Amino acid sequence: MWSASILDTIGNTPLVRLQTMGREFPCTVLAKVEFFNPGGSVKDRIGVAMIEDAEAKGLLKPGGTIIEGTSGNTGAGLAIAAIAKGYRCIFTTTDKQSPEKVDVLRAFGAEVIVCPTNVAPTDPRSYYSVAERLSKEIPNSFYPNQYDHPANAEAHYQTTGPELWEQTEGRITHFVAGAGTGGTISGTARYLKEQNPDVQVIGVDPYGSVYAEYWRTGEFKESEIYPYATEGVGEDILAKNMDFSLVDDYVQVDDKTTMQMTRRLAREEGLFIGQSCGMAMAGALDWMDANRDRLTEDDVVVVMLPDSGFRYLSKTYDDEWMRRNGFLETTPSLTVHDVLAVRPRHEAVIGVTPDDTLAAAIETMTAHGISQVPVLEHGEVVGSLNERGVLNRLIEAPDARDEAVREVMGAPLPIVEAGVHLDDLTATLDGEAGAVLVRADGDDPAAFDILTRSDLISALARAGRQRG
């Protein structure tokens, strides 16, 4: 039996029992995995809902343009529905969002306008303001405004809530979710509490958002607002879809914890998910830890995981981005200097000159038991030889032994500083040469040490033995 259109595949996403996360608690911990939606996120549910509501009210006419401010996922949900129904899309987003999110929207044929993140919501440059302005300027356009549109929360009341109730056979006792527009947590919570008023709803907020503090105090505190890296969750406004009366508790999670938990879910649970998922999971574990005395084996905790990790390949799943933002902890935290300090000391780097014959270079490499050498000329590194390149040359031309090294040498070995961390070096050592030159301590700019793959393997193995 086939679906009439892609829109019929939205919803009915899996509810998965976690295998490692939360096993220290007596309760059952489940994840609602929303990346199974066709657009890769929970926002597919509200995209079609807001469009169909607008059609029913005559707000969206054939050939019209949908204009919305989005962190990326709602845009994808709207774009899929627009394709199925024949509408054009223009989306505004912020420069905080990952490039993958913008690329996805453009792949769906949408026009995307990137606006600055660190401006007030009412600033004419904000993505809220630009979307609203365009909707007034472009004829036959519709501005859903997911933050305030009732169909947002209603979509979750009609779909997400009933799914969780049915999938848990009415046993759900706790629902944990982040909130941006508030639609997911509010619509789902309303349905679940109608079925069982004792269901506890725990909101999770990033530091820098106003929601958690507003829930605690009832006050909108601008002092709570500051930039944070986690995308698609938290707000610097109070969205009308956010019903704080339905939330029983709130926890906050910092960016570093969020990013590390996101990667843990991929590695430990096989769930390749996005940043707000990691935040929700970290918040759930924090809350369960603080309330472990209240949890029993009859409790069923469901954590909402809104989207896919494919939207964050250049960020959370990129070691360099993680390291640059202080989110990645390296264990062991070794540098090139650490490796050189514990390996057998060489008196000097053994090299050859461009005018040496290949036969002489082979003899040098054989005599010293080394697989690669730098080619040095007047104290400068001008090239390199490695045993693979030498062997290939001799197979091609057996008489190449009499050729000058300059005729067969490869590119110079990379030169690095002694303070470089090994994590930053692995890609270089994966290259053809398999070695790097390290500037030696002292005043001689032409003095080098050499670091090979085998040196790195030995150092990491030694570190592993020490940790054990």
Q: Looking at residue 28, what DSSP letter applies?
A: E
DSSP labels for 418-468?
TT-BGGGTHHHHTSSS-EEEEEPSSS-TT-EEEEEHHHHHHHHHHHHHHH-
**Which residues 6+ apart lie within 8 Å of 72 measured at CB?**
93, 97, 98, 101, 102, 104, 105, 231, 232, 311
Q: Is the dihedral of CA 205, 210, 213, 215 positive or negative?
A: negative
Query: For the residues of 166-203, what is the DSSP string, one character each?
Result: HHTTT---EEEEE-SSSHHHHHHHHHHHHH-TT-EEEE
Residues 6+ apart with CB under 8 A from 145: 68, 69, 131, 132
Helix (H, G, I), strand (E, B) or coil at 251: strand
* CA dihedral for 327, 330, 336, 341, sign (positive or negative): positive
CB atoms within 10 A of CB 268: 13
- In angstroms, the CA 268 to CA 166 distance is 27
Active site residues: 43
The encoded tokens of residue 241 equal: 């879809």
